[in-house]
Amino acid sequence: MKIESVDFFYVSMPEILDIGDGSQDALLVRIRAGGFEGWGECEASPLTSIASYVAPMSHSACKPVKYSVEGKELNTAEDIQKISIAVHENSLDLLQADHTLSGIDIALYDLLGKKHNAPVYTLLGYKNAYPKLPYASQLFGDDAEETFNKAKKTKTTGYKAVKFGWGPFGKYGLAKDVAHLKAAREGMGPDAYIMIDAGTIFGEDFSIAKERLQALKEINAYWFEEPFFNGALNAYHQLSISEPRVPLAGGEGCNNYVQAQAMIEHSGVKFIQIDAGRIGGITVSKRVADLAVARNITYVNHTFTSHLALSASLQAYAGIENDIISEYPVELKKLAQEIAKEKILPDANGYISAPDRPGLGMTIDTIALKKYLVDVDIKVNGEKIYTTPEF
């Protein structure tokens, strides 16, 4: 079959708050072919990704993303890989292209899974989707007391693992950070996994990040995530060999395979965190997962948006039995909750799995989403090159 249509839907909460919550808007991609429909989601800045899809060509290596997608053949996973390679070649100088490709690649896998009546992870060669331990991913409280209360509530809800990140961390000095770390441990109790996410706050500054290691060790942090900008290999590496040793995690900012490869091979991280909505979709995520296995690095999904994005992020490492940790957003805005009718919920043992349904196993709630739809019109020299489509 051939790709018949590719449509982008920009949905948004009525008000976007200036907080580190990535579930406040979304860019959904709907692809149709051969009577089937697949859906994907791109991380971040919907308008910019829409523009990269429809922009006029600048030169041979700066074509709009649509050039490599529309009308193309789609029968096997190899066809999706071909499209991925084509986007990288034809949109080499279009920086945003990787984020846009991500949602497209996810939608193509969803569509192909539906056609073959098979979950996406089986198209990747996995036989099983092993259970993953979800960690309740959330923002730090504004002060240590609020962090304590959030941790306590998370424990009460039944989570065995929690991640606190962003918010005030790294902004108000060492003592405040230590207070937040201790509050997280006190609230969750001695046995829970606790992950800490610095949200790149220390830039490339190894020495300030190093000051936090002692407290991280004392609360037995399972990992210390993104102390630095993505790709700041030297700062990561220095911190990874500093005492006391705290395992590092990073990689969510990678927008292609070789960036993730550099993080795996040169940064000293023990956990490589991949967002299928940024790195180029499921195709590239799977390549990174294979490399992680070969290098004995633990693969973890990065997901802070909808359950559609969560399903997409789980596929690439669904079949890796040993990598059991999974990011699980628990503070989703209503919009992100309503994108898919199905939810990926923890089972009686507290574990989640990639859905055992065709494709990504999600039904998009187009009726619920109508109220969030953002109307966009882009005109170039009088010609309308994008207008928000109908659901």
Burial of 1 (0-12, 13-18, 19+ CB in 10 A): middle
Residue 241 binds a copy of itself (CB under 8 A): no
Residue 179 Cβ vs a copy of itself, minimum distance, rounded to whole Å: 22
Task: Provide the 3-class DSSP secondary structure of residue 85.
Answer: helix
The structure tokens 């991380």 sit at 43
Burial of 312 (0-12, 13-18, 19+ CB in 10 A): buried
- Binding range to a copy of itself, per CB under 8 A, among 53-61, 71-79, 292-300, 342-350: 53-61
Residue 50 binds a copy of itself (CB under 8 A): yes
Q: Which of 243, 345, 381, 390 binds a copy of itself (CB under 8 A)?
A: 381
The structure tokens 């039944």 sit at 158
Residue 19 binds a copy of itself (CB under 8 A): yes
Residue 229 binds a copy of itself (CB under 8 A): yes
Residue 364 Cβ vs a copy of itself, minimum distance, rounded to whole Å: 20
Residue 248 binds a copy of itself (CB under 8 A): no
Q: Which of 73, 93, 142, 211 binds a copy of itself (CB under 8 A)?
A: 93
Residue 374 binds a copy of itself (CB under 8 A): yes
- Size of residue set near a copy of itself by CB under 8 A: 70
State the first-to-last Cα distance of the chain, in angstroms, to the nearest integer: 22
Sheet holding 5-12, edge to edge: 5-12, 25-33, 36-42
Residue 243 binds a copy of itself (CB under 8 A): no
Tell me which DSSP letter residue 375 carries: P
Residue 296 binds a copy of itself (CB under 8 A): no
Residue 137 binds a copy of itself (CB under 8 A): no
Which token pair is 19? Answer: 């907080």
For 387: left if phi > 0, alpha if psi spans -120 to 50, otherwise beta; the answer is: beta
Distance between CA atoms of residues 37 and 34, nearest Å: 8
**Cβ nearer to a copy of itself, comparing 82 with 217:** 82
Residue 264 binds a copy of itself (CB under 8 A): no
Task: Provide the 3-class DSSP secondary structure of residue 201.
Answer: coil
The structure tokens 């040793």 sit at 245
Q: Which of 4, 32, 37, 48 binds a copy of itself (CB under 8 A)?
A: 48
* Phi, psi for residue 256 in degrees, rounded to 5: -160, 175
Q: Which of 33, 51, 195, 316 binds a copy of itself (CB under 8 A)?
A: 51
Torsion of CA 53, 55, 56, 59, to 10 degrees: -80
What is the amino acid identity at position 258?
V
> What are the CA-CA distances from residue 356 to residues 116, 117, 121 (Å)?
13, 10, 9
Residue 84 binds a copy of itself (CB under 8 A): no
Residue 81 Cβ vs a copy of itself, minimum distance, rounded to whole Å: 13
- Binding range to a copy of itself, per CB under 8 A, among 47-55, 238-246, 321-329, 345-353: 47-55
Tell me which DSSP letter residue 128 carries: -
CA nearest neighbour of 155 among 194, 181, 182: 194
Contact set for a copy of itself, span 185-224 (CB under 8 A): 199-200, 203-204
Residue 327 binds a copy of itself (CB under 8 A): no
**Cβ nearer to a copy of itself, comparing 201 with 312:** 201
Residue 231 binds a copy of itself (CB under 8 A): yes
Residues that bind a copy of itself (CB under 8 A): 12, 16-22, 24-25, 43-48, 50-52, 54-62, 64, 85, 88-89, 92-96, 98-99, 166, 199-200, 203-204, 229-234, 253, 255-259, 261-262, 265-266, 278, 374-382
